Amino acid sequence: MLARGGRSRASGEALQAPARPLLQWWHRVRAGTLAPSRVASSRRPMRREVERLLDAGQPWGVPKTAGTCRELRKRRQARWTGGRHPAVEPTTNAAERAIRPGVRWRNGRFGPQSPEGSRVVEAMMTVVATLTQPPRHGLDQVTTACEAALWGAPAPSLLPTGDALNQVMRPAV
């Protein structure tokens, strides 16, 4: 939105404003100087403001920005995962770094030859990257997910639990 300029840029800047405190809070939670429960209560007004801004961005007459706002609204639950789970970073930085090897592989080795194949590689690389933060055995997780799909059971969570959660939440030295 920012790169589009005009009304799109104004909409993008307005959407960034509520995120700034969230990122500051997240760094404090990771450092152990702020309780996650304090962030959760402060996050509600921020979430309402972001949702209001996304609604406002839809009818502005800029088709790409309206489409972006619609897509962001559809992914509301995923967008706020970091607020519900303190171990999940509220940015895409770590995720983008994690999937970069897959992008390089796909581009450097000519990758799959179809859009469907590209989506399979993209999904698998994302799962593998997710499971390495903190380290978990990717094949076990993929096997469990496939078995769940075959039996109509819920998919296993990719969120860290137990010791893995403590490893993620340990402040950086």
Both structure tokens of 86:
């303190």
Residues 77 and 108 reside in one and the same domain:
no
Contact 90, 102 (CB under 8 A): no
Q: Which of 28, 61, 84 is the last residue of a domain?
A: 84
Mean pLDDT (whole number) for 1-30: 82
pLDDT digits (tens, 9 = 90+) for 102-140: 777 767 666 677 888 878 877 877 777 777 666 667 678
pLDDT digits (tens, 9 = 90+) for 128-173: 777 766 666 767 878 888 899 999 999 887 776 655 444 444 444 3
- Quote the Cα angle for 26-96-112, to 5°: 155
Stronger pLDDT, 80 or 75, i.e. the higher one: 75
Contact 166, 25 (CB under 8 A): no
Q: Which of 59, 84, 109 is the last residue of a domain?
A: 84
Parent domain of 17: 2-84
Q: Which of 55, 84, 113 is the last residue of a domain?
A: 84
